[in-house]
Structures are given as C-alpha cells and as structure tokens.
Amino acid sequence: MHLNGTIAEESWFDDDVTPQLFKDELMAGTGDVTVWINSPGGDCVAAAQIYNMLVEYPGSVTVKIDGIAASAASVIAMAGTRVLMSPVSMLMIHNPMTIAFGDSGEMQKAIEMLGSVKDSIINAYEIKTGLSRAKLSHLMDAETWMDANKAIELGFADEIMKRSGETEAMDTPNVSMLYSKASVVNSLMGKIAAKCKIQPTPAPQEPAGRSVDALKADLNAIKNYI
C-alpha cells in the first residue's frame, strides 16, 4: 500500500488520501501489509482513523517511510509493527494547528481543543517511542525534523531500510540530524539583535588638569605681582 499525498476527510481533486479510500485498499486483501508513506500530513482526525485501522489490523504492519512523514502522517507511521526509514527520508512532528473565528470565548475553545488534540497525538508517539510526554511536547513545540538516524535514536523508527536482497541494514554514517525550526529562528533573532544592538554613548569625562578659568586666574595673579 502507498500513502502518498495529503491526508483529508474527503478528496476534492482525487489526489488526497481519505480514511475510506485507505480502508477499501487495506481490506481488499489479507495477511501482512506494508505501508509506504510519503506525505506532508493533513487532517488530524482522518489520520487518527487511519492510525486506528492499522493498529486494529490482524496482520503485521510494516511502515516504510521513503520520502517524508510529516505532521499527521507521522502519527500514522507510529501504527507500524515495524517502522523503517530510507536513509534519505525525513520525519517531522509539530503542534496541531487550526483556523478559528469569533470572539474571545470562541478563541479559548479553539485553544482548549488544540490542547486536547495535542494530547491525543502524544499518546501515539509515547506508545511507540517510550519518551516522556514532557519530552515529546517539547519536540512538538519546536517543530522538530529528524533524519532516519535521529528518528531511530529517539524511538520513532526501528531501522534503516535495506537494499533489495540484503540481510544486514545498510551502512549509514554515525551522525544523526535533528532540526528545530524554533531553535533556528531564536538563534537567528539573537544574532540579529546582537548585530543591531545600539552601544550606549559613554558619559562625558571631566578634562584632566586645570580649567581655563583657573588658569586665567593664576595668570592674573602673576601679573599683579610683576
């Protein structure tokens, strides 16, 4: 099975992945299943439905991320019995977002709703990774991008995808990459602030030695005695 494109409740242009389309394909066969994921994410509720389908599926579910599993797509990936990532793939997690309209009461309802959605997403990440909810919340706050090595290190994935016919995992550099949009923005703003910082004007210093008036007084005194 291939999960390519945006995840949505309904498909308007026949290029979205919907729960119903996914269910029809999933139930078309029997036995173990492999789900290839290359998706920027989409609707959280639709993703939750697909996640539950895979968790409840009677066979083994292998998830292979061959491009990107971002946002809601990363939640679906957590349903895999095994999660494999291509050496050149990425996984991204962030806080849920919405569009709200109305007065302050409506805005508060939207905030509370987003908090509940975030908690439900953390549930999926926590089950897969074993990380603390506080750690996962921090990673989501920072909009965190992970390469395959970092995803395995943090528990979001299990191994690197193998070449066809190989029995051992592909050799990969012992270097992992974790990119945080919030950290980069904060670092950049800090550098800009330091570069544009206005240095305070130093206070004027009192001139050393005698003043002009004192010098004139001394000269006048000398003239009086000459």
Interatomic CA distance for residues 4 and 66, integer angstroms: 10
Per-residue pLDDT averaged across 131-135, rounded? 97
pLDDT surpasses 80 at 70: yes
CB atoms within 10 A of CB 104: 7
Mean pLDDT is lowest, of 4-8, 127-131, 170-174, 213-217, for 170-174
Highest mean pLDDT among 98-102, 169-173, 208-212: 98-102
Q: Which is it for strands 82-85 and 33-39: parallel, antiparallel or unpaired?
A: unpaired
Model confidence, pTM:
0.77
Q: Residue 172: its pLDDT value, please?
A: 47
Q: Which is it for strands 33-39 and 61-70: parallel, antiparallel or unpaired?
A: parallel
Q: What is the pLDDT of residues 158-185, one digit of tens each?
A: 999 987 766 544 444 566 777 776 776 6
What percentage of the chain's residues is helix, strand, coil (to nearest 5)?
45, 20, 40
Give the rounded percent of residues in the chain with a pLDDT score beyond 70.
Answer: 87
Q: Residue 162: its pLDDT value, please?
A: 81
